[in-house]
Structure 1
Amino acid sequence: MNVSVILFTADLRLHDHPPLRAALDGSRQVVPLFVRDPAVDRAGFAAPNRLAFLADCLRDLDTGLRERGGRLVVRSGDVVEQVLKVVAEADADEVHLAADVSAHARHRETRLRRVLEEQGVRLHVHDTVTTAVPPGALSPAASDHFAVFTPYFRQWSREPIRDTLAAPRAVPVPDGVGSEPLPSRTAVTGLSDGLAPGGEQAGRSRLTAWLRDGITAYEDRHDDLAGDATSRLSPHLHFGTLSPVELVNRARRAGGGAGAEAFVRQLAWRDFHRQVLAARPEAASVDYRTRNDRWRSVPDEVEAWREGRTGYPVVDAAMRQLRHEGWMHNRGRLLTASFLTKTLYVDWRVGARHFLDLLVDGDVANNQLNWQWMAGTGTDSRPNRVLNPVTQAKRYDPDGTYVRRWVPELAHVEGPGVHEPWKLRGLDRAATDYPEPIVELSEGRARFLRGRGMAV
């Protein structure tokens, strides 16, 4: 019987998995392989929260495979070398892999194709596994990619989305291919206390609940900080325990409406960032559009931002949520990024690195390009906008519930007054050790505009 190797990367699921279905085509045996790549560790991307979530995902994937008569093979080392070893052990004649957009992934694919061709082994790279629309499928007439979301979204919305594939009923795996033990969350230290569980089963349960109870109101409530009305599916999209194609299809089948449309739009943003990174891989670390910024170096202020001690409650609440959960509400991400890059005028790469250290959904395309968007060095058509944390807090956390949840020093302050604790007087102010603001908002804005060479 012919044998295929399916190399899992950021697609740790059985449902809607084109590479797996293709690998099984023609009653072939399959070696489901995941390689723990030390290059990820060396690059600083193996953060504890993601390692723990990954361990959950791999164990869940192995369980699903065993229910279908198979198992997951786990190896550690250079991905290309390990794939070659497994190909030889299984006498495989083809390898299947999901397409990806990062520079590391594309270099891995190029190396893998070259060495497999030398061995007479075919490499099949599949689109629409980690995106709903392939990164290179859409482009304007005068460029290789869209630099503005709105025209991209118009084309993306007209693009046909393939049908969702069912999970295979059986996954026959040949004997004789060894595996390392599966990793365990319990072996990982330094985790966020409130880190959610990973794995396809957890992701599908959350998706079902979201489509039943959350998506209808998404348009109206997605910026409600205290309401926690977002899907929280981003970690599962990052690790591929859920398929973006399936999410688009199921959201559209959920009855449409403004909530479903708004949710699908967020999935399109995810594809948008991937097509930008595919065309400009250097944007992971270099300004997409330089503003000739003279970023400030202020270690004490950066540390206050990281610790959630800036003196601006909504910023601090979001930063503390990040540390506790390894996740942050999207509105909080915008506010904290604006505060660091435009109020403190600190390099966006400093913030992006901190987020990657903690976010379980830390993703090169989404994280780096969202930071660039907020810093004004990315694709934002209003690069010098500054989000006022007080105004934003009063709008998106009007009674202060979100702030009181994450900043217990202010739990005794009732109502919207919690957003401006520096205005408290007497015993109310004495009752808290919450810090004074580390910068006046007007001062920060003026400094930022000067740095951008704009009149104040």
Structure 2
Amino acid sequence: MAHTIVLFTQDLRLHDHPALCAALRSGDTVLPVFVLDPALLRRSARNRVRALPGILTELRGGLRDRGGDLVVRRGDAAAEAAALAKETGADTVHLTEGVTRTAARREERLRGLGLDVVSHPGLTVVPPGDVTPAGGDHYKVFTPYLRAWEAHPWRAVLPAPERVSLPGGVDPGEIPAELDEGRGETAERPLRLGEEAARHRLDAWLESGLAHYADRHDDLPAGATSHLSADLRLGCLSALEAASLARDEPGGAEFVRQLAWRDFHHQVTAAFPDMAVRDYRPRGARWRDDAAALKAWKEGRTGVPVVDAGMRQLLSEGFMHNRARMITAAFLTRTLRIHWRAGADHFAEHLLDGDVADNYGNWQWVAGTGNDTRPNRSFNPLRQARRFDPEGVYVRRYVAELADLPGKAAHTPWDSTAADGDYPPPIASPGS
């Protein structure tokens, strides 16, 4: 019997997995594989690396329940897949298509090693190349993209397979109890990750959070967002399944619009794979080097409470509310005039959901070098705080020095003698 490989990457799930389903439909025995690539692990956020053994163990358990297994190897992904193909006589690799240079190079290496590579959708709701403007390779502005995205039919959500047949005689390999690679510090209170937790979060969100999303998604103290971003980043949850279940429900339209933004950034990154290192739209921005200010921003010690609250949430949870991400990014790039790469790299070192397309695409949008059609828009942190954290609840939650300040006073502690003496004055004027 013929054998085929399914190489898992950013798709660590069994539900709605087109690559796995296609391999099973071929009639071959299927070899599900995940490769722990030291080079990728070293570049990843330590928070995600720390979660990986548990996610892989759960994925292996799900495959074993279906008669299969997850084969785990350590090394270069293409080389390890090719070695397994030689060992088992497989000549085809199915995988989920990515949008980064790393994903493109992996496919190129697999083909160069003599394997037939079949890529599948599964990373986004609408695959990056499925909607394109007339005369162009990708949409550069969100609104026309959204119109095309909404008009495009979605593929059917696929069920988890009932049976997976693994070739005999293959050593499945060990999943390490922990991994010590990765960048950044580990969070104190990270989310529990894995397909089971992701599906529970999705069910809870659809039942009790989605209906209020349109009215409350910018409310900083409420934290009334889905908290599914890390599940989507690691592929423990299908973006298509989440969108399909939400779109016809109360509040679903606004939530699905955010998934369209995610797809938008992915199709931009597919066309412009230098998103993490180069201005998408160079506009002659002049940046300044200020190591002390950058350090204060990273540590949540800028003296601007809403900025510090966001940065401390990131350090403690490996997550930050989306509105706080915009506020903190705008303060670094527009107030301090420090390059967006410094901020985006810091986020990438800590965020459980630090996807290349979304993280760097959003940072460039805020900095005015990306897809924002208003690159000089105003983004005043104090006005943002008064609008989205009017009683200072979010600030007092994450900035311990200000926990005893009353209400709105938490936004401007430099005007109050009640603030803890350890809290610094602002390192730059945040406006008024």
| Correspondence for 1:155 | 148
Correspondence 1:239-250 to 2 at 5 A = 239-250=234-245
Amino acid paired to 1:134: P
| Correspondence for 1:263 | 255
State the 1:53 CA deviation.
2.0
Q: Which moved more, 1:86-95 or 1:59-68?
A: 86-95
Amino acid paired to 2:282: T
2: CA distance, partners of 1:387 / 1:251: 31
State the 1:413 CA deviation.
0.7
SS at match of 1:5: strand
| Correspondence for 2:269 | 277
State the 1:115 CA deviation.
2.2
| Correspondence for 1:448 | none
The match for 2:423 among 426, 434, 438 is 434
Amino acid paired to 1:193: E
The match for 1:358 among 332, 350, 354 is 350
1:89 touches 1:176 (CA, 8 Å); kept in 2? Answer: no
| Correspondence for 2:75 | 77
Does structure 1 residue 416 correspond to structure 2 residue 405? no
Structure 2 length-normalised TM:
0.96
Deviations 1:198-232 (A, max 9, x none): 11011001001000010111000000110010001
| Correspondence for 2:205 | 210
Deviations 1:360-398 (A, max 9, x none): 111111111110000000000111123111111111011
Does structure 1 residue 391 correspond to structure 2 residue 354? no
2:88 touches 2:167 (CA, 8 Å); kept in 1? Answer: yes
1:99 touches 1:126 (CA, 8 Å); kept in 2? Answer: yes
SS at match of 1:34: strand
| Correspondence for 2:120 | 126
Deviations 1:176-218 (A, max 9, x none): 2223311334767942110111110110010010000101110
Deviations 1:279-338 (A, max 9, x none): 111222100111212211011111110010111111000000000000100001000000
SS at match of 2:147: helix
Correspondence 1:218-233 to 2 at 5 A = 218-233=213-228
1: CA distance, partners of 2:294 / 2:247: 42
Correspondence 1:294-313 to 2 at 5 A = 294-313=286-305
| Correspondence for 2:99 | 101
SS at match of 1:65: helix
2:276 touches 2:341 (CA, 8 Å); kept in 1? Answer: no
2:269 touches 2:275 (CA, 8 Å); kept in 1? Answer: yes
Q: Which runs of 5+ in 2 are unaligned?
A: none
1:54 touches 1:239 (CA, 8 Å); kept in 2? Answer: no
| Correspondence for 1:452 | none
1: CA distance, partners of 2:252 / 2:353: 22
| Correspondence for 1:33 | 33
| Correspondence for 1:113 | 111
Aligned-residue identity in percent: 50
Deviations 1:392-420 (A, max 9, x none): 11110111111110011111111111101
2:302 touches 2:426 (CA, 8 Å); kept in 1? Answer: yes
1: CA distance, partners of 2:154 / 2:170: 36
- Rate the CA distance shift 1:32–1:161 in 2: closer, same or farther, 3 A: same
State the 1:2 CA deviation.
1.9
Does structure 1 residue 381 correspond to structure 2 residue 373? yes
Structure 1 length-normalised TM:
0.91
Amino acid paired to 2:140: A
| Correspondence for 1:451 | none
1:149 touches 1:272 (CA, 8 Å); kept in 2? Answer: yes
2: CA distance, partners of 1:403 / 1:26: 55
Correspondence 1:59-78 to 2 at 5 A = 59-78=57-76
SS at match of 2:5: strand
| Correspondence for 1:449 | none
2:221 touches 2:389 (CA, 8 Å); kept in 1? Answer: yes
1:56 touches 1:197 (CA, 8 Å); kept in 2? Answer: no
Deviations 1:65-107 (A, max 9, x none): 1111111111111111111111112222321111111011111
Does structure 1 residue 324 correspond to structure 2 residue 316? yes
Q: Which moved more, 1:350-359 or 1:136-145?
A: 136-145
2: CA distance, partners of 1:187 / 1:295: 34
1:206 touches 1:233 (CA, 8 Å); kept in 2? Answer: yes
| Correspondence for 1:183 | 176
State the 1:26 CA deviation.
4.5
1: CA distance, partners of 2:261 / 2:305: 29
State the 1:155 CA deviation.
0.5
1: CA distance, partners of 2:179 / 2:370: 38
SS at match of 1:282: coil
1:273 touches 1:365 (CA, 8 Å); kept in 2? Answer: yes
Q: Which moved more, 1:183-192 or 1:236-245?
A: 183-192
1:318 touches 1:332 (CA, 8 Å); kept in 2? Answer: yes
| Correspondence for 2:3 | 3
Give the number of aligned pairs.
Answer: 430
